[in-house]
Amino acid sequence: MKAEFHHSINDIAKNQWQAVENSLCPLMHYEFFKALEDSTSICIKTGWQPHHLTLSTDKTIQAIIPLYIKQHSWGEYVFDWDWAQAYQHNGLDYYPKLVSTIPVTPIPNDKLLSETVDYLQIIKVLIEYCQQNDINSWHLLFIPEISQAAQEKLPDDVYLRHTVQFHWFNRQYQSFDHFLSTFTARKRKNTLKERRSIAQQDVQVKRFVGKDITKKHLDYFYLTYQLTYLKKGHQPHLSYAFFQQIFQTLPDNILLVIASRDDQYIACSLFFYDHQHLYGRYWGCSESVKNLHFELCYYQGIEFCIANKLAMFNPGTQGEHKIQRGFEAVLTYSYHWIKHEHFKTPIKNYCQQERVQLKRYQKQCLAALPFKQS
């Protein structure tokens, strides 16, 4: 099987991508990655050099996995800053590294598009490629857990890392009230109080999907998207051109929720969805309103899932405040390989200790859920 690395999504035809695509997630669609690169949101200049891998037989692509050569660790959400710092203290270069992920999008899903190739084959290719080139490590971020049988075949110097995210699961709820009926009385009262406070502050909330999203909506969304980053002293990762393109190419997979007061927009949140999952991505506001973040980013998403019978809602990374609103702690899986021999053992030990700590943390989070005891 022939392995090739491509410096642009445009080196891979859309029909070739779709022929092996096995993912429902719209964030794995060809249109999403093309918009990232067409808009130059993701490029060498931003520290994300496309380096997508294809495996082919008889000129027919059997597998695709998105890859990037990176000179930094921004926008990954599986943090390895301590590793980079340790390299620096020893006068060594940690970068460049090879990363498979959806850029600036910590969504756990299958990054390998294929029906015939598995991650063991990809890992073998990546190790050989890094050893033969000036690449110091590779990282497969937010992928499915490799099966127990396959784990036994993994090289000893491939290390598993966890993060904890908070996901909402639809247990055949018929309405938001039905969902709340599973809460303890105190937690249910708190949630209802938060939701009522939105109307009490004269705020109206509307959901827009697909082609109902107008340029006016897009302009306001991007304004608040920028403000969210600028308030933290950062530049936005994604350009206006990126969102403009995906609003045109993925209209049936986008949900935009907008809050207004006196016919003036004051906040919004953007989601992606397929027929099983909802993915919360971006939030911003031009006016601060108590509890509005919870309403737009969590409660509206839950209502949308219930109304459309979606099985799971991933609202984004971090945030213990999600627990009391019914989001359950789940472990994510990422796999890592380091070239430098002297760092293999310390990093292996680090990963082992981290996994133990995060499994303990997950149990603590699950114990704090608002649901009634069965």
174-195 pLDDT, tens digit each: 999 999 999 999 999 999 999 9
- The CATH number for 247's domain is 3.40.630.30
- Alpha helices (H) in 297-339, listed in sequence order: 300-308
In this structure, are 291 and 230 located in the same domain? yes
| Phi-psi sector, 318: left (phi>0), alpha (psi -120 to 50), beta | left
Distances (CA, A) of 136 to 3, 70, 216, 317: 19, 11, 45, 27
Task: Quote the pLDDT of residue 211.
Answer: 85
Alpha helical stretches, state H, 58-203: 81-89, 119-132, 148-151, 176-180, 185-200
26 and 174 part of one domain: no
* Beta carbons within 10 angstroms of residue 249's beta carbon: 16
Please give the pLDDT value at position 342: 96
Q: Are residues 260 and 148 both part of a single domain? A: no
Say if 150 falls within a structural domain.
Answer: yes
Residue 314 belongs to some domain of the structure = yes
CATH number of the domain that 62 lies in? 3.40.630
pLDDT at position 210 = 86
What's the domain count of the chain?
2
Q: Note whether 123 and 199 are same-domain residues.
A: no
Nearest-5° Cα angle at 81, 29 to 352: 85
155 and 269 share a domain? no
| Same domain, residue pair 184 and 315 | yes
- Under-50 pLDDT residues of the chain: none
Does residue 373 form part of some domain?
A: no
> Rounded distance, CA 248 to CA 77, Å?
28
Residue 90 in tokens: 């020893």
| pLDDT tens profile 193-206 | 999 999 999 999 99
Supply the pLDDT for residue 373: 86
DSSP state of 216: H
Q: Are residues 193 and 325 in the same domain?
A: yes
What tokens were used for 26? Answer: 């719209």
* Judgement on whether residues 142 and 178 belong to the same structural domain of the protein: no
**Same domain membership, residue 322 and residue 174:** yes
106 and 186 in one domain? no
78, part of any domain: yes
Question: In this structure, is residue 176 part of a structural domain?
Answer: yes
Q: Is residue 372 a part of any domain in this protein? A: no
Instruction: Report if residue 186 sits inside a domain.
Output: yes
pLDDT of residue 96: 98
Residue 50 within a domain:
yes
Predicted confidence at residue 315, as pLDDT, reads 96
Residues 337 and 216 occupy one common structural domain? no
In sign, the C-alpha dihedral spanning 94, 99, 104, 108 is negative
| In a shared domain, residues 253 and 346 | no
For residue 158, the enclosing domain spans 2-163+332-367
Q: What is the DSSP string of 134-150?
A: T--EEEEEEEPPPPHHH
